[in-house]
Structure 1
Amino acid sequence: MTAKNMVMDVNEVPKLSKWIIFSIQHLFAMFGATILVPFLTGLSPAVALVSSGTGTLAYLLITKGKIPAYLGSSFAFITPIIVATEASGVPGVMVGSFLAGLVYGLLALLIGAFGLDWLMKVLPPIVVGPVIIVIGLGLAPTAIDMAMNVDGSYSGKHFAIAIATLAITIIGSLFFKGFFGLIPILIGIVSGYIISLFAGIVDTSGVSAAWDKIANAGSVGDLFGSIFLMPDFVLPFVHYAPFEVLSLNIAAIMVPVAAVTIAEHIGDQMVLSKVAGRNFIKKPGLHRSILGDGVATMIASVLGGPPNTTYGENIGVLAITRVFSVFVIGGAAVLAISFGFIGIITEVIASIPTAVMGGVSILLFGIIASSGLRMLIDNQVDLGEKRNLIVSSVILVIGIGGALVRVNVAGVTIEVAGMALATIIGIVLNLVLPGKESGFGNGSMFQADEEVETEK
């Protein structure tokens, strides 16, 4: 398959005016989802933007500038981050995130040495699809709580704003065209914010203080200092000693999630290959793209940001605009880093009411769950097969029900719960039950790379 009507190839450098516009498009496409993850987990949105941009630049470097992919905050890690924060604080989250990134690196080495078939046997669609459903539905209570509760009590005003935000986002997703059709999440957040201002539930004190500093700056130096602020980085060996917070429990919470995000990464690479008319899985290779994803996550962990992953929103931008230049992606990354250092932007993000984010989350988390269902459908996985029905059913109930396994090893309590436990049990069931071939379905995305023309 070749890319049709290509406007700009992967290594083409656009003119400056178009470069900025194209990069802003990618920035807006990822912005809403990227800041939502730190908003939900208590991490810094400014750091998330910086780590997103820095991770993307590292990804482009590791993939030799041959894959136009943007990396943003991963939704799969939301629940593990919340659980790990309760167990060991933000430093523990960062250590666990770093370990998850190391798993990517190890996997990249194994793929480079032994190929890809063995990985597909461990993570077929019958395992990955239900686990993705668990990610979305497991987050559903969080979305509803944000949408309708204030300090644990029901608020009709907040719920109405959440529903209005949701409605605008849905309308944008369905009916907006062109550039606006690429940013329905951002449009929903902005619209909900404006409604919240009229409803009087927005605390604008931080924004006003930041603006006053800019307006009252007496010199160029003061103006620069009032505009640009240092994000709240959480740095190892500066704010904490990694080995003091490293534990088996943190590893058990964070590392298993890598199995899901790696499968999502492979799916994104196949979609991107078909959109661009290149076989990115073969050249520069899946081992390079997975390594780039892992390094981006490790970079985020040493800055205090959420783990990174390739973004479907930005693949959608590529598909619509037909501009595949990695320089455009790199420009978006530089803009994201810059936004993270602009204080007034950080204050605006911090002032967004939870009802607005809750309204957007209802749709986003539902889409995640639906994408897991779509994976089963697209790969034509037959749930009439008893073994497939068993694997998917067990994963769903264990993951959504919040089952956990708690053991004591050498005086250390290790707890594997929810999605992580569901993933592990799903992998084991798929490997031990007879009829493994049916778990791939009849149209497995993992077997479709021959449809993509190899890059010459």
Structure 2
Amino acid sequence: MSETQQTTTKPVLDIHERPAFSKWIVLSIQHLFTMFGSTIFVPSVTGLSPGVALVSSGLGTLAYLVITRGKIPAYLGSSFAFIAPLTQFMLKDQSPGSVMVGTFSVGVVYAIVSLIVYYAGVDWIQKVLPPVVVGPVIMVIGLSLAPSAANMAMGTSNGVENYSWEALAVALITLAAAIIAMIFFKGFLGLIPILFGFAVGYVASMCFGLVDYTLIKEASFFQVPDFTIPFVDADPVVTVTVILSMAPLAFVTMAEHMGHQLVLNKITNRNFFKDPGLHRSLLADGTASIIASFLGGPPVTTYGENIGVLAITRVYSVFVIGGAAVCAILFGFIGYINAIITSVPQPVLGGISLLLFGVIASSGLRMMIDNKIDLNINRNLIITSVVLVIGIGGLFVQIGSVQVSGMAMAALVGIILNLLIPERKHA
């Protein structure tokens, strides 16, 4: 995501301008492909349904536009912050009921904070979640997932000693394709390096004989995604452990949400914190995750990739964003697309992960640099160090059946240290 310096440049299409139908479709498809790779990546590595993730993304975005009164051109996609707990629930515990409750709890936290913001303003959030806390936690999100990326790239993702040179070759080809697209491609292709990496990696997997075509052969054009409806397909698993594994991470994505708002303010030359208000955008973000919980999808959040498209094209129209959301919903019901996504081999996901998880960690570091966090100050050094080691090391607290671990634990400890350690000027 890159900030534009042309904050006063006249937009090609402003927020409430509607493009001609032919251009509308093309512009919306561009946003769809921009978010596509990252949105389907989360369910692909966590065991959730890519089709459900697409539908959740589209419905969540439409809800966001409605709640913010059509004033903020933002697209919502699957959040990377929740990959670790989602993986635990789906791949280890085989518990879609936990995913429902965890995702729902994220939305509830957003709703509570939006209510507080409405009455108390936004200054308190900066005190609870300053860059010295949020930056390291974002780094933890990426770095704690690094072993998973490496295992998928080597073909050992299931903990079995089945190291494969073919798998590693496919992973490196996938990684190289995504890097080349990011650095050298211009225009539309330059906006979809992750999707390009997926495509090249998939072709390479076909050449190495790593693709299982069974699901593709059995797929139909129209296919209802594998929705997991509460009390119909699975019973919600309401435990303190489930809630504490995901709910605290909402504060991390909230900080990301506010960062995206700041960039959108600059790009569109508006102040969305005031109109329609941060409380509305937070409520809209949380509502989108609650919608996802009723379908069995992952939590969603605003996407920096799509903000980058706004900055480059100067097309700020919410009609274009809404069109992309409708397209995402339609794509979720196309069986062939779901089957192809599901058949993507682990090494392809591993190759993309080597880049994406590193980018996540780097974005946390960039946040600290941009905000001039001085690690010569002991307070900053302590908070950063403890958060990183707790998060990456996997320290957890177990009280009976309740467990707080990983990124959630790191976020909570970071917030507590920030509130307890007094600020002193550096001598």
Give TM class, smaller chain: over 0.9
The structural deviation recorded for 1:287 is 0.6
The structural deviation recorded for 1:4 is 1.0
What SS does structure 2 have at the residue aligned with 1:72? strand
The 1:179/1:248 distance shift into structure 2, 3 A limit, reads: same
Q: Counterpart of 2:221? A: 227
Aligned partner (choices 180, 184, 188) of residue 175 of structure 1:
184
Aligned partner (choices 132, 138, 148) of residue 126 of structure 1:
132
The answer to whether the Cα contact below 8 Å between 1:74 and 1:308 also exists between their aligned partners in 2 is yes
Equivalent position amino acid for 2:144 in 1: G
In the alignment, is residue 295 of structure 1 matched against residue 287 of structure 2? yes
Structure 1: gaps of 5 or more residues: 211-225, 439-456
What SS does structure 1 have at the residue aligned with 2:24? helix
The answer to whether the Cα contact below 8 Å between 2:96 and 2:234 also exists between their aligned partners in 1 is no
What SS does structure 2 have at the residue aligned with 1:143? helix
Structure 2: gaps of 5 or more residues: 1-5
The answer to whether the Cα contact below 8 Å between 1:273 and 1:279 also exists between their aligned partners in 2 is yes
Deviations, residues 171-225 of structure 1 (Å, cap 9, x unaligned): 1001100111100110110011111112211112222333xxxxxxxxxxxxxxx
Aligned 1:34-433 pairs, distance under 5 A: 34-85=39-90, 86-87=92-93, 89-150=95-156, 152=160, 153-210=162-219, 226-242=220-236, 245-408=237-400, 413-433=401-421
The answer to whether the Cα contact below 8 Å between 2:57 and 2:325 also exists between their aligned partners in 1 is yes
- How far, CA to CA, are the matches of 2:258 and 2:67 in structure 1? 16
What SS does structure 2 have at the residue aligned with 1:256? helix
- How far, CA to CA, are the matches of 1:353 and 1:186 in structure 2? 15
Deviations, residues 242-291 of structure 1 (Å, cap 9, x unaligned): 3xx21111111111111111111111111111111111111111111111
Deviations, residues 351-391 of structure 1 (Å, cap 9, x unaligned): 11111111011100000000000000000111110010000
Equivalent position amino acid for 1:248 in 2: V
Equivalent position amino acid for 1:132 in 2: I
Tell which structure's C-alpha radius of gyration is larger.
Answer: 1
Q: Counterpart of 1:446? A: none
Deviations, residues 80-116 of structure 1 (Å, cap 9, x unaligned): 1123344571111111110110010010010000000
Equivalent position amino acid for 1:425 in 2: V
In the alignment, is residue 434 of structure 1 matched against residue 422 of structure 2? yes
In the alignment, is residue 19 of structure 1 matched against residue 24 of structure 2? yes
The answer to whether the Cα contact below 8 Å between 1:37 and 1:75 also exists between their aligned partners in 2 is yes
The structural deviation recorded for 1:405 is 0.5
Equivalent position amino acid for 1:227 in 2: F
- How far, CA to CA, are the matches of 2:199 and 2:256 in structure 1? 29
- How far, CA to CA, are the matches of 1:87 and 1:345 in structure 2? 27
The structural deviation recorded for 1:237 is 2.1
- How far, CA to CA, are the matches of 1:405 and 1:303 in structure 2? 31
Please give the TM-score of this superposition, normalised by the length of structure 1. 0.89
- How far, CA to CA, are the matches of 1:417 and 1:131 in structure 2? 13
The 1:177/1:386 distance shift into structure 2, 3 A limit, reads: same
- How far, CA to CA, are the matches of 1:184 and 1:302 in structure 2? 31
The 1:88/1:156 distance shift into structure 2, 3 A limit, reads: closer
Equivalent position amino acid for 1:18 in 2: K
- How far, CA to CA, are the matches of 2:93 and 2:245 in structure 1? 10
- How far, CA to CA, are the matches of 2:44 and 2:229 in structure 1? 20
Please give the TM-score of this superposition, normalised by the length of structure 2. 0.95
- How far, CA to CA, are the matches of 1:319 and 1:383 in structure 2? 32
- How far, CA to CA, are the matches of 1:11 and 1:267 in structure 2? 23
Equivalent position amino acid for 1:423 in 2: A
The structural deviation recorded for 1:436 is 7.1
What SS does structure 2 have at the residue aligned with 1:390? helix
- How far, CA to CA, are the matches of 2:8 and 2:189 in structure 1? 24
Residues matched between the structures, number: 417
- How far, CA to CA, are the matches of 1:437 and 1:88 in structure 2? 50
- How far, CA to CA, are the matches of 1:164 and 1:229 in structure 2? 32
What SS does structure 2 have at the residue aligned with 1:405? strand
Equivalent position amino acid for 2:113 in 1: L
Q: Counterpart of 2:3? A: none
The answer to whether the Cα contact below 8 Å between 1:147 and 1:357 also exists between their aligned partners in 2 is yes
